Structure 1
Amino acid sequence: MVYIDRPIQTECLEIRFKPHYWHNDGQHNANDFTPYHAIATIQKFIDLFNIEHPEHFKVVNLEYGLNFLIDGYGKELISYPSYHQKDEFVRDLNHRYSKQKKSTKYLIIKLYSKGVQFPEYCPGNTIRFEVKSKRSKRINPLGIYHLGDLLKEAPYHAMKADIITNAKRVLIIDPDPNYIGLTKRETNKLKEYSNPSFWFKTINQSRINSFDEKKKTYLSYLDKTGNNINRKFVESIEQKLTQLFDEIGINSAPLQKNEIGINSPMLKGENIPVSYSRVCPITGMDITMQKEGSNLLSNTGLKHLEKTDKERFKELQNILLTGEHNKFEKTVYDMMSKQIRNKYYNKRPIPGQTALF
Structure 2
Amino acid sequence: MIDFIKILVKDLHPSILEANPLLDFYDNINLSTGEIKTTNHKGQKITPYKNAFYNSLEFKIFENGTITINGSLHKYNNSGAHNYNDFNFSAFLGVLNDLKQKFSIDLNNCILRCLEIGINITPPKPTNQILEYCFLHKTRNFEYRINSDEGKYKQCQHSQYIIKIYNKALHYKSKGFKINTEILRFEIKYTKMERLNKLGVFNLNDIAKMGFKYFEKELITEWENVLFYDNTIVSNSNRINNYKNPLYWCKLIESNSKTNYYKHKGILKDLTSNNSDKVQSQITEIMRNKITFLSQEGASFDTLYIKSIHTPHNQTTNTINNNICKVTKVNISMQKDNSILLSHTGLKYYYKTDKKIYKQIKRNYLSKRWFNSDFETQIKEIAHNIRNKKSNGKTKQIKIYQPQQINLLSYFNL
Give the structure-2-normalised TM-score.
0.56
C-alpha contact 1:3 1:61 (8 A) present in aligned 2: yes
Matched, 1:230 2:230: no
Equivalent residue in structure 2 for 1:25, among 79, 82, 85: 79
CA deviation string 1:138-190 (max 9, x = no partner): 221333212322321x152222221111111111224x4441xx4x4xx2122
For 1:246 and 1:138, how far apart are their aligned partners in 2? Answer: 25
**What's the counterpart of residue 202 of structure 1?**
252
Q: Kindly name which structure, 1 or 2, has the bigger radius of gyration based on alpha carbons.
A: 2
For 1:149 and 1:231, how far apart are their aligned partners in 2? Answer: 31
C-alpha contact 2:86 2:120 (8 A) present in aligned 1: yes
Matched, 1:244 2:294: yes
Task: State the 1:7 CA deviation.
Answer: 4.7
**What's the counterpart of residue 171 of structure 2?**
117
**What's the counterpart of residue 329 of structure 1?**
none
Identity across aligned pairs (percent)?
23
Task: State the 1:108 CA deviation.
Answer: 0.7
CA deviation string 1:33-66 (max 9, x = no partner): 1122112211111111122x33222111111101
Matched, 1:41 2:95: yes
C-alpha contact 1:64 1:132 (8 A) present in aligned 2: yes
Q: 1:249 to 1:148 in 2, by over 3 A?
A: closer
**What's the counterpart of residue 159 of structure 1?**
215
Matched, 1:90 2:143: yes
For 2:117 and 2:299, how far apart are their aligned partners in 1? Answer: 22
Task: State the 1:31 CA deviation.
Answer: 0.5
Equivalent residue in structure 2 for 1:134, among 187, 191, 214: 191
Task: State the 1:103 CA deviation.
Answer: 2.8
For 1:178 and 1:148, how far apart are their aligned partners in 2? Answer: 45
**What's the counterpart of residue 261 of structure 2?**
211
**What's the counterpart of residue 70 of structure 1?**
123
Task: State the 1:68 CA deviation.
Answer: 0.4
Q: Which moved more, 1:241-250 or 1:63-72?
A: 241-250
C-alpha contact 1:75 1:97 (8 A) present in aligned 2: no
Q: Which moved more, 1:162-171 or 1:230-239?
A: 230-239
C-alpha contact 1:7 1:13 (8 A) present in aligned 2: yes
C-alpha contact 1:55 1:148 (8 A) present in aligned 2: yes
Task: State the 1:227 CA deviation.
Answer: 1.9
> SS of 2:258's equivalent?
coil
| Structure 1: gaps (5+ residues) | 263-357
**What's the counterpart of residue 99 of structure 1?**
154
CA deviation string 1:256-305 (max 9, x = no partner): 6549xx9xxxxxxxxxxxxxxxxxxxxxxxxxxxxxxxxxxxxxxxxxxx
Counting only pairs closer than 5 Å after superposition, residues 202-351 of structure 1 correspond to structure 2 as 202-254=252-304, 258=308
**What's the counterpart of residue 227 of structure 2?**
171
For 1:207 and 1:237, how far apart are their aligned partners in 2? Answer: 33
Matched, 1:3 2:6: yes
For 1:158 and 1:211, how far apart are their aligned partners in 2? Answer: 32
**What's the counterpart of residue 291 of structure 1?**
none
Q: Which moved more, 1:22-31 or 1:7-16?
A: 7-16
For 2:302 and 2:119, how far apart are their aligned partners in 1? Answer: 13
C-alpha contact 1:173 1:196 (8 A) present in aligned 2: no
RMSD: 2.7
Q: 1:48 to 1:109 in 2, by over 3 A?
A: same
Q: 1:38 to 1:114 in 2, by over 3 A?
A: same
> What amino acid is aligned across from residue 103 of structure 1 in structure 2?
H
Task: State the 1:248 CA deviation.
Answer: 4.4
Equivalent residue in structure 2 for 1:190, among 218, 232, 240: 240
**What's the counterpart of residue 365 of structure 2?**
none
Number of residues of Structure 1 aligned to a counterpart in Structure 2? 253
Give the structure-1-normalised TM-score.
0.64
